[in-house]
Amino acid sequence: MQIHKFSDKSSVLNTFVSEIRSIDIQNDRMRFRRNIERIGEVLSYEMSKILSSESISVKTPLGNSLLNVPKDDIVICSILRAGLPFHNGILNYFDKAENAFISAYRHHLNSKDFEIIVEYIASPNLENKTLVLVDPMLATGQSLALTYEALKSHGIPKQIHLLSVIGSQTGVDYIMDKFPENTHLWIAAIDETLNEKGYIVPGLGDAGDLAFGSKLKN
């Protein structure tokens, strides 16, 4: 797996990441969702640089212009519900992409242990397409791995790109052998640890709750 991490580089991306982490800013839900969306846009732009391309001729009022544009058949798949703002940011840049959605959530067995439950999939045919699998918080890595396994019944993509906002090193290590070798991970930041409940530290908290409001616990 090829990992593209951007937190070590000075860019406006780190401004968006700092605001979604900040307890003084993140409770503005609209701003939180918009920052997640903008991070999706930045990562999409970076990813677009390595996609397959084709040359097209565009007629202007004064002549013709040759341009190289991406040609991949892209399917964006988000894990509900935290992935929705992130999904929108990616779709802003790949507006002709097909879309898939899957529910994967933590079912808590006790105060510390949980299992990932996958219940719902809506996906087009993935055969020989470019799958962009979206999960803003790559904590343990189990959600991404189980989502990929569930999607295999819809076809085998030719290329897989994983997009996350913040991950843990534990989660990144976990998924390394769960995906094909030529998979790319595009991620804004990687934090070192998980706490006893499996949340990323320092992370930002529960992305789904920050984007859409608190929920009853399973």
The tens-digit pLDDT sequence of the chain (218 residues) is 999 999 998 999 999 999 999 999 999 999 999 999 999 999 999 999 999 999 999 999 999 999 999 999 999 999 888 889 999 999 999 999 999 999 876 655 565 555 667 778 899 999 999 999 999 999 999 889 989 998 999 999 999 999 999 999 999 999 999 999 999 999 999 999 999 888 899 999 999 899 999 877 65
Within-domain flag for 217: no
Within-domain flag for 29: yes
Contact 48, 78 (CB under 8 A): no
pLDDT in the model for residue 218: 54
Contact 137, 187 (CB under 8 A): no
Within-domain flag for 190: yes
pLDDT in the model for residue 116: 65
pLDDT in the model for residue 214: 84
Within-domain flag for 156: yes
**pTM (two decimals):** 0.90
CATH number, domain containing residue 34: 3.40.50.2020
pLDDT in the model for residue 103: 83
Within-domain flag for 218: no
Within-domain flag for 185: yes
Within-domain flag for 134: yes
Cα 164 off chain centre by: 4
Phi/psi at 141 (5° precision): 90, -10
**Domain span at 38:** 2-57+65-212
List all residues 6 or more positions away from 28 whose beta carbon is below 8 Å from its beta carbon: none
Within-domain flag for 179: yes
Partners of 200 in the beta sheet?
Answer: 194
Domain count, the chain: 1
